[in-house]
A = this chain, B = another copy of it.
Amino acid sequence: MSHPISRYPVPDIDDLPDDLRETVSAVLEKTGFVPNVFLALAHRPDELRAFLTYHDALMERDSGLTKAEREMIVVATSARNQCQYCVIAHGAILRIRTRNPQLADQLASNYRKADISPRQLTMLDFAIKVASQAEAIDEQDFTRLREAGFDDDDIWDIGAISAFFGLSNRLVNMSSMRTNDEFYLMGRVPREK
């Protein structure tokens, strides 16, 4: 009862425009496989380019949030939005970044009960408010975040990552995007020395 990568056409890597073929090939080389999101959005090359640029602008920039914290936001937000691809794929990335094989599964089921610091809980509370009730964000939210040690730039990162993955989550659910097999086990088994 397995389903395809997407309701939408999925091009071969060789049929991608040159720049995207290069991007995807580089990912393939580095990771060993091509995450389906690259292929599932490629029927719209312009949108894929903007998506990847936006993603990297948020996830690769210098930030007061660690890369692991940013992945925590992705996993918690995507769980709230019931996005299978993002929960599983970014759960894998979070395991890699933290070398913690449990945190992603904890965040995916109930972030309030995960093994995180109070500061990180405040961070995720805000991310979830952006995802589910952004219209009601007010000065008190900013005060709470500042008291937890975040500056305004960090707060932007939290909210913008939640908002960007809200977009991603909706595209995944709309297209029934399938998760790559590789993500499920990634980062779960300790490397032997």
Residues of A within 8 A of B (CB): 1-3, 7-8, 44, 46-47, 49-51, 53-54, 57-58, 61, 78-79, 81-84, 87-88, 91, 101-102, 105-106, 108-110, 112-117, 120, 130-131, 134-138, 142, 152, 156, 159-160, 162-164, 166-167, 169-171, 173-176, 179, 181, 184-185, 188-189
Number of this chain's copies in the assembly equals 6
Residue of B nearest to A57 (CB): B46
Cβ contacts under 8 Å, A105 to chain B: 84, 87-88, 91, 184
Q: Which residues of B have CB within 8 Å of A81?
A: 134-135
Question: Measured between alpha carbons, how far is A130 from B171 in the docked complex, in Å?
Answer: 9
Q: Which of A112, A120, A173, A184 has the most CB of B within 10 A?
A: A173
Closest Cβ neighbor of A61 among chain B residues: B46
Structural contact, B152 and A8, CB atoms closer than 8 A? yes
Given contacts A46-B53, A174-B163, A184-B188, contact A112 B88 (CB under 8 A): no
Collect the chain B residues with CB atoms within 8 Å of residue A44's CB. Answer: 57, 156, 160
Q: How far is the CB of A142 from chain B (nearest CB, A)?
A: 7
New contact pairs (10) apart from A166-B170, A188-B189, CB-CB < 8 Å: A1-B117, A8-B156, A50-B54, A50-B57, A51-B54, A54-B54, A83-B109, A84-B109, A108-B108, A113-B173
